Chain A
Amino acid sequence: MSSLVVKRSVLLAKLIKHVNSEAKRLSSHFVYFPDNGKPVEGETTKMNMMQAINNAMDLTLRSDPTAVVFGEDVAFGGVFRCALGLQEKYGKDRVFNTPLCEQGIAGFGIGLATAGATAIAEIQFADYIFPAFDQLVNEAAKARYRSGGQFPCGALTVRTPCGAVGHGGLYHSQSPEAFFAHVPGLKVVVPRGPTAAKGLLLSCIREKDPCIFLEPKILYRSATEDVPVEDYTLPLGKAQVLREGDAATLVAWGTQVHVLLEVAQKAHDELGVSCEVIDLQSILPWDEETVCNSVKKTGRCLIAHEAPLTSGFGAEVAATVQEECFLHLEAPIGRVTGWDAPFPHVFEPFYLPTVSRCYDELRRLLQY
């Protein structure tokens, strides 16, 4: 056990500063910074995030005979094709369509997990997870607690695509992490790219508690990396420092990590300052230690997320940082987020926490 922990922290250290500069602009709002550090030694293959997720499910279905993958349109691979080819490979009783009903999918998954199966459920869009909210919040999250540990449903993982894509409008763009972050008993994870997605998804699937795995859908096809072929996990509850610096700590998750990496680069080029960029990865539980240690060093903290400002997860991070780092702070904690409105269709470029909005805020913090 302890050796495992050691191994994990070594892996973490390896992942630090491994973001390289072959960045590629994916849409008007961000540039993708691929990982080039490898969580494990050995063979790698070029995979986009969809393929990395497919690979994680493939490995699970191969090694765990109880594992099943299901959801709306999953039989032919799902609308984002993450389950592509898996039904052909593992059969219709392991990879299958469900009727169109999110509360059914979540409840069915809890039942599977209760009876000893590994359940990998797909909700077609995170925007459509709300009919399943009761099952996830009142049932999955509380199953261990209310049964005195007799009937946990940790073998449940709910995967769902989230976040902005450029034209998704109200119901194909939302980032609902904060709703679930308010629920003790759940684990909430958001990967920033293929390598992270594979390792984190495998962790979620094996985790002893139910996990919500939010996949930024804009990264599915466009974010490509050399991903290790073998089975590996990345620790839940741990953030990754992707770029070290002393001027400010920039915190994000998912797509927004890449926005902040660009901001840090811009700050380096134009202001000559170095910013530390942290990918939180795990929203619940989150890595207070890594973030607070960083802020104690830099004295400034900027948090950015796509979800609306009010009661967004940035509020939780900010409250903890001011509690833990009060005397180290040299500026108020900044939050750059989606505005307090539903996610709008044609106004998306104005709604998102863009590079220029984040950079503007960073300058304000630096000059404070």
Chain B
Amino acid sequence: MALHSGVSFVRLNGFRHLARLLSTHRKPNIVQNEKNADFPGAKAPYVTEIKFLNESSYDPIPIYRVLDNNGEVIDNNEEPNIDRDTLLNMYKSMIQLSQMDKILYESQRQGRISFYMTNYGEEGIHVGSAAALSPKDLVFAQYREVGVFLFRGYTVTELVNQCYGNCEDPGKGKQMPVHYGSKQHNIVTISSPLATQMPQAVGAAYALKRIPNNDRCVICYFGEGAASEGDAHAAFNFAATLDCPVIMLCRNNGYAISTPTGEQYRGDGIASRGPALGLNTVRVDGTDPLAVYNAVTRARELVLGTNKPVLIEAMSYRVGHHSTSDDSSAYRPLEEIDKWTKDESPIQKFRLYLEQKGLWNEEADKAWAKECRNTVVRTMQDAEKKKLPHWKEMLEDVYYDMPPRIQKQIQQMEDHLKKYQEHYPLNRYQSE
């Protein structure tokens, strides 16, 4: 089975593409025997020679792209037909995101928020995938996918309030910054433990599949580092065996904190695991929003048409530090970053594309960047003025109904605060 499907993302229509993909792997010699083995665990031909397969038994899985570095479409047949407003929403979301990243990263340095993570270099994956989905499709994210939130209309205000954990944070101050979530936008709240969202996404897809006339799929974003967790394997295997309409989208940005991919896995990246586990798989250039758009569009057709999962590996580069707790100069050379910011910037490629189509220009770019900055700064000023939620919120939402034991604890804290209020920063929190 694996021998015949080094790459098995099959286009629904058109064999040209398929032929190209199939030509990328070599078949080992199979001694033609009369019959195939019929073991319950494998139907395969018998051979009389021992041959170990390894990563060089297959050619590398190719990387699908639409745009070149100058934002020009390489093969006109592959240019997606996206309406003007959507294209602009994609681009504007990317700019809004990178402007927000700059300011919030800096604000953490100034001690205004406790933590932050930037998305630099991966904006194209966010908007390319978000634009290809229905807003009703359910999203399970890792943390570095904020462009999906912005594209779906989650506001800078909501994002900034979450980072401050103030009384208007939809998450009510419970989680660290960047752990966003929105029921209204069909994006499940982010959790820090890595890869936990992966089997959850698969389960959600199974539930959707069972709804009559289902027209929703699930997309699950995860990093190439997270893909080393046991949960990742469970997710792939469950998705394939239980026929779940889920798109598993790996952001392979080259690093998991300081760990480079060379120490994270051997073999041909994350994509090579897909065919091995029975998932339709494709690898795309994650710095090319249109490539991501096409891949996710076709993946969506495939998962909803067949109830079978798709694995997409979007290749990119983590341009920023891992987070505000990290200084990546301790483990990677500056020149490496330069290369990915100069030639392979998804924002730059997409801007050049839009300019060539006459949809955007330098003036518009300056104006929008300025507006984005202003939005963030204004929002932060507002967010800072807002109180944190009432301290009692601390013990809310542990359960649907608060058990007596927790009620008693609230009472104890309340009594304690009456006596010792000067020891607590009560003025920063909402009062009754």
Contacts and interface: CB of A to CB of B under 8 A. Distances in A.
Interface in B98-140: 114-115
A357 interface: yes
Contacts of B263: 75, 96-97, 99
A310 B394 contact: no
B330 A347 contact: no
A235 B348 CA distance: 61
Interface in B386-426: 388-389, 391, 393-395, 398, 405-406, 409, 413, 416, 419-420, 423-425
A200 to B, nearest CB: 26
B258 A130 contact: no
A169 B176 contact: yes
A341 interface: yes
Contacts of A339: 394-395, 406, 409, 413
B182 interface: no
Contacts of B423: 354-356
Interface in B228-269: 228-231, 256-259, 263-265
Contacts of A168: 176
B39 interface: no
Interface residues of B, number: 47
A101 B228 contact: yes
B374 interface: no
B422 to A, nearest CB: 9
Given A167-B176, A340-B405, A347-B393, A356 B230 contact: no
A131 interface: yes
Interface stretch (B62-70, B188-196, B287-295): B188-196
A85 to B, nearest CB: 12
A28, A96, A167 interface centre (most CB from chain B within 10 Å) = A167
A257 B230 CA distance: 37
B398 A350 contact: no
Contacts of B225: 99-100
Nearest to B226: A100
A77, A102, A172, A357 interface centre (most CB from chain B within 10 Å) = A357
Given A341-B398, A360-B416, A170 B192 contact: yes
Contacts of A345: 114, 165, 173-176
A309 B165 CA distance: 25
Interface in A165-197: 166-172
A130 B413 CA distance: 30
A128 B166 CA distance: 27
A127 interface: yes
Given A341-B394, A347-B391, A127 B192 contact: yes
Contact of A349 (B231, B326, B395, B425): B425
Contact of A341 (B257, B406, B419): B406
B41 to A, nearest CB: 24
Interface of A: 28, 72-73, 75-77, 79, 96-97, 99-104, 127-128, 130-131, 166-172, 309-310, 339-342, 344-347, 349-351, 354-357, 360
22 contacts: A75-B263, A76-B331, A77-B330, A99-B225, A99-B259, A127-B192, A169-B175, A169-B179, A170-B175, A171-B176, A172-B192, A339-B395, A340-B395, A341-B394, A341-B406, A342-B398, A345-B174, A346-B173, A347-B173, A347-B391, A356-B420, A357-B416
Give the 4 A-B CB pairs with smallest separation, nearest first.
Answer: A167-B114, A171-B192, A347-B394, A169-B176
